[in-house]
Amino acid sequence: MVTDMPVRGAPGMRGRLGELCYSSGLLTPLQRVRAWWQRDLRILAYHRVMPLPDPATYAFDMELISTPPEEFREQMRWIARHFRPMRLTDIVEALDAGEVLPPDTVAVTFDDGYDDNYHVAAPILDEVGVPATFFVSTGHLDSGRPYGYDWLVHMILVTAAPRLELPELGIDIALPPDRDSRRRIAGNVLLRMKWLDALAQTAMTERLEHEWNLPSVDARPAACRPMTWDQAREMSGAGFEFGSHGVHHRMLARLPQDVMEREIRESKTTLDRELGTPSILMSYPVGGDRAYSDAVIAATRNAGFRLACSYVCGTNPEPGVNRYALNRLPVEANMGPGWFAAMLALPRLMSYPTTRHEAHPPQAQPCSR
């Protein structure tokens, strides 16, 4: 079910300040002044583009919805009018040639490979004339299976089990009937499980699925469907770029070295074969500072990738220096048009504050009761 009333978190101080700068007409002059002394590459990071569903009935992770379609269209129009949208492949060429990127260069990227990227985002990008890169987890396009973290949230939202018991995370909690409370619990689980190694994360999800006797991940509900290779080929043929987001969407730095290298190599082999062009772009799954490492960067470079994005929030004043760990600006559904525009004009001040990962694991106790 889809409501007309988007349910969003409060925009907070950044959002209000952004809207104020936007409505006062200050943003464009501020952006021009900034461009005199700061030429940084801005890369926007999206996941899903879809109408905001009613959280009381929607059975998947709301946090993956970056923006609804109409706002996405306005965002793309904004960057087409005020910035210089550029393909990541052209950025690679410019970096290889030692060229300085033009001021106000913006790249648009998507992680995971949900099928709304094909049905919703691509037609809007096409209409507005903005290029974009889609980073897909190749194993999910192969199998059609939902992405692991989204599926875990789904299970916690729908299970009839009275308790959530995750000894791996020190969690043993009664499951309340309402979805809001369950969403908070699921969010906490996602935060904590990213401190486990990646194979333990998969094992935990599979154990819950088995214990709770839920419809198998093979049920493949439409609401969390990856795009197909046919859709990806059609988008690629229309000029959109594709890159790797691993095979199984695992945190690469939390895998044994040989498995990590295989994830990177195999994702490239599959992309090259399915799309018929050499894949040179990578985005590390999860992408925070614990999801990649020097070893992951080395394996990415050795596999033939020539640029890689993290999910660390920020811009890139010298993209030639961190071309294998480029910062991005995540777009979140509670950003109004003013906040979005302000984030692009003044990214250091206005970017979304959620993507820096905490330096220590979350305490084990507060989630138990």
Residues at the interface with Zn ion (CB under 5 A): 111-112, 285
| Helix (H/G/I), strand (E/B), else coil: 129 | coil
Considering the complex, state which of residue 137 and residue 159 has its C-beta at the smaller distance from Zn ion: 137
Closest approach of Cβ 285 to Zn ion, in Å? Answer: 5
Helix 337-345 vs helix 27-37: angle between axes, to the nearest 10 degrees? Answer: 20
Q: How far apart are CA 290 and CA 208, in angstroms?
A: 25
Residues 193 and 168: their CA atoms lie apart, in Å, by 8
The minimum distance between CB 246 and Zn ion, in angstroms, equals 8
> Distances from the Cα of 325 to the Cαs of 103, 197, 264, 311, 341, in angstroms?
21, 21, 15, 9, 24
The DSSP 8-state label assigned to residue 332 in this structure reads: -
Is the Cβ of residue 73 or residue 249 nearer to Zn ion in the bound state?
Answer: 249
Closest contact distance (angstroms) between CB of 249 and Zn ion is 6
d(CA 299, CA 324): 11
Residue number with CB closer to Zn ion (71 or 112): 112
Angle 155-159-161 from CA coordinates, rounded to 5°? 130
Radius of gyration for the alpha carbons in the chain, expressed in angstroms and rounded: 20
Task: Choose between 111 and 241: whose C-beta lies nearer to Zn ion.
Answer: 111
Kindly state the smallest distance separating residue 283's Cβ from Zn ion, in Å: 7
Give the nearest distance from C-beta 281 to Zn ion in angstroms.
14
**Helix count (H) and strand count (E) of the chain?**
15, 12
Between residues 146 and 285, which has the closer beta carbon with respect to Zn ion? 285
Of the pair 71, 111, the CB lying nearest Zn ion is at: 111
CA–CA separation, 84 and 93 (whole Å): 16
Residue nearest to Zn ion (CB): 111
Nearest alpha carbon to residue 150 among 173, 116, 124: 116
CB 130 within 8 Å of CB 147:
no
3-state secondary structure of 109: strand
Query: Least distance in Å: CB of 59 to Zn ion?
Result: 19
CB of 258 to Zn ion, least distance (A): 22
**Residue whose CB is less far from Zn ion, 31 or 244:** 244
**Residue 72 is encoded by which pair of tokens?**
């996405």
Nearby residues of 354 by Cβ (< 8 Å), 6 or more positions away: 313, 330, 332
Give the residue with the Cβ less far from Zn ion, 285 or 330: 285
Question: Which residue number, 61 or 111, has a Cβ lying nearer to Zn ion?
Answer: 111
Rounded to a whole number of angstroms, the minimum distance from the CB of residue 350 to Zn ion is: 23
Q: Is the CB of residue 45 less than 8 Å from the CB of residue 288?
A: no
Smallest distance, Zn ion to C-beta of residue 111, A: 4
